[in-house]
Structure 1
Amino acid sequence: MDFSELWAIFGPGVAGAVFGAGWWFWVDAVVCSSVKISFLHYLPGIFASLAALMFNCVRKEDIDYSPYDEGEWRLKLWLFIAYVVSFVSLAASVGLLIQDALGKSGPSAWTGVAGVLQCVFVLISGLIYWTSHSES
């Protein structure tokens, strides 16, 4: 067996483990927090999960990289929107980390760090699954 066959077999499991680790960081921060976490802090992780789902709705084989063919514009628009959602969720989690680190009365800085780790791990898991699942 070569690496691509092994990656096609074990890649989705690795992606699931990385996704679970990302959400585990967030659940740990919420459970260990001494103050109530507002729903606003949950949104970056939810949108990162949505972006990972959006990435995985597209197969790599369906993307045509020819600059002269306009047949796949809907697919490329879908991927562009997925990229925008993923980067906005990551930027929002970093913004909440800065807000938590600077504020004295809000959640601890660990809540912000866990939110950033959650977004990074969820988006990495989407990339891992997309590369492993689309192999033919």
Structure 2
Amino acid sequence: MSGILDNCQWPRCCESCELGERRNVVASIVAGILFFTGWWICFDAAAIFPDNSVFNHAYHTCGVISTVAFFMINSVSNGQIRGDTYTSGCLGQTGARVWLFIGFLLAFGSLIAASWILFGFYVVPHEPNDWPGIAIFLQNAFIFFGGLVFKFGRTEDLWG
């Protein structure tokens, strides 16, 4: 049985979008903009609702954990995960894989916690101001997608 998507093709406009050597630069800029936008949204909600009654400032913990996960995910290269470049150290390739796995666990966990904050404390009780919950969720979503763009949008072929 032939694949259903065998005859599907990308639009013609995408053929001229070859980034080549600028791929790492574009991925880094896009990831930085996503990371910045996430924190900017959270700062906006904290500035609009400075008191703890509407916006509990303990909810910033999700963004901090998401930021730590961003750095953990991007601190190991794909070569270290494959075992091409990292052969020594206290744990070697296994340690790099465990580090990446824990980073992804923290990233997914903070995104799930942000959605729990949004729905558990703002949407379901029907608070009059939903913006703090939306801001916390958007912050973590932007940081999460920024981390994915920075990890998988770059190529290591251009480094050496």
Q: Tell me, in whole angstroms, the C-alpha distance in 2 between the residues paired with 1:76 and 1:134.
A: 18
Partner of 1:129: 150
Residue 119 of structure 1 and its aligned partner are, at CA, apart by: 0.5
Residue 49 of structure 1 and its aligned partner are, at CA, apart by: 0.7
Residue 92 of structure 1 and its aligned partner are, at CA, apart by: 0.8
Q: Contact conserved, 1:35 with 1:107, CA < 8 A, in 2?
A: no
Q: Tell me, in whole angstroms, the C-alpha distance in 1 between the residues paired with 2:50 and 2:144.
A: 28
Cα RMSD over matched residues?
2.4
Instruction: Mark the structure with the bigger radius of gyration.
Output: 2
Residue 4 of structure 1 and its aligned partner are, at CA, apart by: 3.6
Which amino acid in 2 is paired with 1:25? Answer: I
Partner of 1:48: 66
Unaligned runs of 5+ in 1: none
Could you list the runs of 4 or more consecutive aligned residues of structure 1 that deviate by over 6 angstroms after TM superposition? Answer: none
Q: Contact conserved, 2:38 with 2:141, CA < 8 A, in 1?
A: yes
Partner of 1:101: 123
Counterpart among 57, 62, 66 of residue 39 in structure 1: 57
Which amino acid in 1 is paired with 2:99? Answer: W
Q: Tell me, in whole angstroms, the C-alpha distance in 2 between the residues paired with 1:31 and 1:39.
A: 11
Whether 1:28 and 2:49 are equivalent positions in the alignment is no
Residue 110 of structure 1 and its aligned partner are, at CA, apart by: 1.2
Q: Tell me, in whole angstroms, the C-alpha distance in 2 between the residues paired with 1:63 and 1:101.
A: 40
Q: Tell me, in whole angstroms, the C-alpha distance in 2 between the residues paired with 1:87 and 1:46.
A: 13
Q: Tell me, in whole angstroms, the C-alpha distance in 1 between the residues paired with 2:21 and 2:76.
A: 20
Counterpart among 96, 114, 118 of residue 139 in structure 2: 118
Tell me, what secondary structure is at the counterpart of 2:46?
helix
Partner of 1:64: 82
Q: Provide the aligned length of Structure 1 versus Structure 2.
A: 131
Deviations 1:81-117 (A, max 9, x none): 111111110111011101122346x783111111111
Partner of 1:12: 28
Task: State TM-score, norm by structure 1.
Answer: 0.83
Counterpart among 88, 94, 100 of residue 79 in structure 1: 100
Deviations 1:38-94 (A, max 9, x none): 2321011111111001011010122128xxxx9511111111111111111011101
Q: Tell me, in whole angstroms, the C-alpha distance in 2 between the residues paired with 1:107 and 1:45.
A: 23
Which amino acid in 2 is paired with 1:127? Answer: L
Q: Contact conserved, 2:111 with 2:144, CA < 8 A, in 1?
A: no
Structure with bigger RCO (C-alpha 8 Å, 6+ apart):
1
Cα distance change, pair 17–45 in 1 and its aligned pair in 2 (3 A) = same
Task: State TM-score, norm by structure 2.
Answer: 0.72
